[in-house]
Chains A and B, each alone.
Chain A
């Protein structure tokens, strides 16, 4: 289990002179659930963009399951086994949840299969099971546009799972959710963590506390520190990033 599923070395991303990521090193064990936190603009979303091939790194290397992903475009990386959930839920609004899931679940994503393939019974079972897992049985055949925000979030996570990736990248899964929904999503992620490697980006500290085993703090494009929730919480550098220098407090006062 200690094998690394994702390894990132010296990653730098330059946007017109602005370094969104700066010499970042990161690794994730197979089967691990990792939470990444950090103030706004720390480079969290860019980090996911690089892994999924949306943004090309200026320098540095991303290794997934022991192979460099360099030169692969988004859909190829996705086929390698990286699934991503976006900050705001991105689902196909004019399809039903069932159809959304079926599209993701489909093993053969070529044009031929799209025309002539039929969902296999195994796939259909998987989808039915997933609908149950994400709690959308009653709405499985309504347009996804009619779902509530929380349901959309859950559906997108479900789509991720349907893709059965080895690595799940989840960007702010509980933004805009109620407490109850937040907890549901947390449980869902924990359940998934039993069989997948997951990276979660989140701001909601209560939620982070609920799910996190190991936390990585990003700041200005690099890893500031890594450790358990308690360690991170008490790390002076983290406190400084989030709350400002504590000593200054006294100095100025």
Chain B
């Protein structure tokens, strides 16, 4: 019945049948692919957990393990940026707020791990003798865990709703998120008595489970936790960007108005994605804070939030792997280059922005898919092994379509 529709030449009938077969088989194939992908993710996670740290330590670069842990935490925030910008097309320049909210939540909890009646010691110079109300709930671990994820989420949902409701879009949204950043920065920066202002909250010396946070066992635990949560974030992003919700995200990016006329309310979807990405940023902020030992309002400066976008852009927007890869590449480049060329690091960073926007709009993964694949294949002239994301070039349907379209052009 599928074949009984339009006139096709005899030659392409054969192909047609193959295609139909492929379609029928696509279900189990998809499951296989999913398993393969899960396997690869697990393998990389194990590699990160058990192989890379000893190698780094062995080569006298032990402190890079901590860096890696921090950058992996940043990668979680990058996943959030990718969801909102890469997949949904909304550029948020205010994710530092959510990052910081997560970080501050956890830092407040850690600082309260004190004997009864004592205050965190930074309070004393300001003459604060009673714990401010803001701090009270953070005695509770469950509340803190809730706060890390949901305070950013709720703030984002409110902000997002207020903005998206008015159909404020594009650069206006970006500018407003920047303004929000300034608001939060000034608030955190200006409230010395509440949260220690510019100095931020230090978590290194706090104790948890009877150990200081900066001690090796806790740091190893945090490193593991980061990887697990990154895998979780990866899974969440995969889940959100596939299936029906994934299609809806693409739909918001492609044509928001069309969605409305199909009966969807894009505002709610945008709020949802914005909130989820904020939650991811909150988790990232918490993990980053405990691994770097301090959270300050600097996490909410303009540059940092824009940098997050560039991580995703470098890796390749709208690719989940790209977000993670981009974060690691840019941050390690920053850390290594700034060791070597401390004085002119900004040149590199600025150049990176320019290059990514003008020359490599698809980022590294985008380039690999578009040009890299062709380049490599033409060089070694053989078939590529199957990857997690089969490129369009491999797709028989595409080849068929290409040919057909080319024919169409010349016919008349």
Contact = CB atoms under 8 A, between A and B. Distances in A.
Interface of A: 52, 54, 73-75, 78-79, 83-84, 86, 90-95, 99, 102-104, 106, 109-111, 113-115, 117-119, 132, 135, 137-143, 146, 148, 159, 163
Given A74-B260, A132-B2, A146-B398, A90 B247 contact: no
A119 B243 CA distance: 10
Given A93-B254, A111-B272, A138-B400, A132 B5 contact: yes
A94 B248 CA distance: 11
B260 to A, nearest CB: 4
Interface stretch (B32-40, B99-107, B148-156, B262-270): B262-270
A141 B2 CA distance: 14
Contact of A119 (B1, B244, B263): B244
Contacts of A137: 2, 5, 20
25 contacts: A75-B259, A75-B261, A75-B266, A86-B258, A91-B258, A92-B250, A94-B253, A94-B254, A95-B250, A95-B251, A95-B254, A106-B244, A109-B265, A111-B269, A114-B244, A115-B244, A119-B244, A137-B2, A137-B5, A137-B20, A141-B23, A142-B395, A146-B398, A148-B405, A163-B263
Given A74-B261, A75-B260, A92 B254 contact: yes
Contacts of A159: 262
Contacts, number: 105
Contact of A103 (B248, B257, B260, B268): B248
B205 to A, nearest CB: 41
B263 A109 contact: yes
A229 to B, nearest CB: 29
B408 interface: yes
A148 B401 CA distance: 10
Interface residue tally on B, bucketed by range: 35 or more
Given A94-B254, A141-B397, A78 B5 contact: no
B260 A114 contact: no
Given A115-B240, A138-B397, 10 more contacts: A54-B257, A75-B260, A91-B258, A92-B250, A92-B255, A94-B254, A103-B251, A135-B6, A138-B16, A139-B397
Interface of B: 1-2, 5-6, 16, 19-20, 23, 26, 240, 243-245, 247-248, 250-251, 253-255, 257-266, 268-269, 272, 392, 395, 397-398, 400-401, 405, 408
A137 B259 CA distance: 24
Nearest to B258: A90
A78 B263 CA distance: 5
Contact of B262 (A104, A118, A132): A104
Nearest to A52: B261
A73 B253 CA distance: 20
A146 B401 contact: yes
A179 to B, nearest CB: 12
Residue of A83, A92, A113, A143 with most chain B CB atoms under a 10 A cut-off: A92
Contacts of B20: 137
A83 B261 contact: yes
A115 B272 CA distance: 10
Of all A-B residue pairs in the complex, the 3 with the closest CB atoms, nearest first, are A78-B263, A74-B260, A92-B254
Contacts of A79: 263
Contacts of B263: 75, 78-79, 109, 163
